[in-house]
Amino acid sequence: MRKSMAAGAAAAVLAGLLGAAGPVSADTVSADTVSAAGADSAASGACRPALTVLGALPGPEVGWPREGVRALGTGNLSVGSSRGRAAYWTGTTVHRVPVPAGDESSELLAVNAGGLMTGRYRTAGSTSWVGFTYRAGDPAVTPLPAPADAFAGLDVNASGRVAATSSTREGVVVVVGGAVERNLTFPTGIGADARVDNLGGINARGDVVATVTWPEPDTGGRVEHSVPVLWPGDGGPARILPATGNTAWVADVAADGTVVGSDWFGFGYEWSPRVWAGTDGSLGSPAPLSTHPSTSLDGISPTTGVATGTARKHIDDLHLTEQAVLWPGTGPVLALPRLADGQPAEGVAVSDDDRVGGNAVNARGKTRAVVWKCASRQAYQP
């Protein structure tokens, strides 16, 4: 699933990862690695807490797509973007995804337990994204069946179903086996001219969550409403999840239907963490990180209930910087270590085997893809 993956027996899946795409040397500068970095402890069964810097593709850092991990696969597999190009990592070694020549930018957004990845690329001079799937070692990506204006959001679940929103964002489709399986329409209560602002994800049983936005007609579109929407995997009617603010964002969905996200209070640029229970959709609000005015939750593990995200500063605050966080499933949000003092870090994905993936800025001011191993043992109350 997007941003998080259950750990399990994966030797057969990962055996072919050093395929046609080929590895690029990892950037593993010792000064960029906190605690017991470098050793992959999965093979020994030991949990050695570490903040590990992953390798980078050749070329200069770009502003977007942002350097970093977007999702965690089984074992030591991570996927995301490096130097503005779709990339995956085995351990700290980076591999380029063979998107078509002439692409302007690309990124991987999700990976499932079988190693199936999904992402998007955009060709030079185009404003539209092309969605694709990919397996390590394949000579090329496989475009998803869609019109030329897709895709804005993508996720893949354990059965290989890909949830996608087009750049026109008028709905969500579920693609399986190269064909559209479901067209998800908006539920009753959504206003006219609605669109999908962001795709939260699809879980193992096929539940899909997204943020749906529509304008307030009497304001000429200047005021908008954004609500979290869940489409059950069993084909039942879509429903709007409860929200406490005018803008509620969903970010990820666990196997049991638990959803994480945030309410955004735009005038104060404040994010408040939110959790919708998988049992009944009831809304919970973990206490944000104590040192920051706002916190967002951006990923949840498939089955352990652990979430990750980022403690965020106010736009006018020149002193604070973003800090990656971990929410254990109860109690307040906790901080994760930075790569360098005073430098920002973001948590994006969390796995059942206690890894968190994201990005962090090093002492030289460079953004790097990172993984916090044994993250719960590194989390602390500042």
Over residues 357-374, the pLDDT tens digits come to 999 999 999 999 999 999
Question: Looking at the predicted structure, is the pLDDT value of residue 56 above 80?
Answer: yes
Task: With H, G, I as helix, E, B as strand and everything else as coil, classify residue 79.
Answer: strand
Helices and strands in the chain: count of H runs, count of E runs? 1, 30
pLDDT tier, 298 (very low <50, low <70, confident <90, very high otherwise): very high
- List the Cα angle 93/371/15 in 5-degree steps: 40
Q: What is the mean pLDDT of the chain?
A: 83
Give the containing element (helix H, strand E) for 213. Answer: strand 208-215
Phi, psi of 360 (to 5 degrees): -155, 150
pLDDT tier, 17 (very low <50, low <70, confident <90, very high otherwise): very low
Contacts of 348 (CB under 8 A, 6+ apart): 3, 68, 69, 70, 71, 298, 299, 308, 357, 358, 359
Over residues 116-125, the pLDDT tens digits come to 999 999 887 7
Phi, psi of 217 (to 5 degrees): -60, -35
pTM of the shown model: 0.86
In one letter, which amino acid is 209? Answer: V
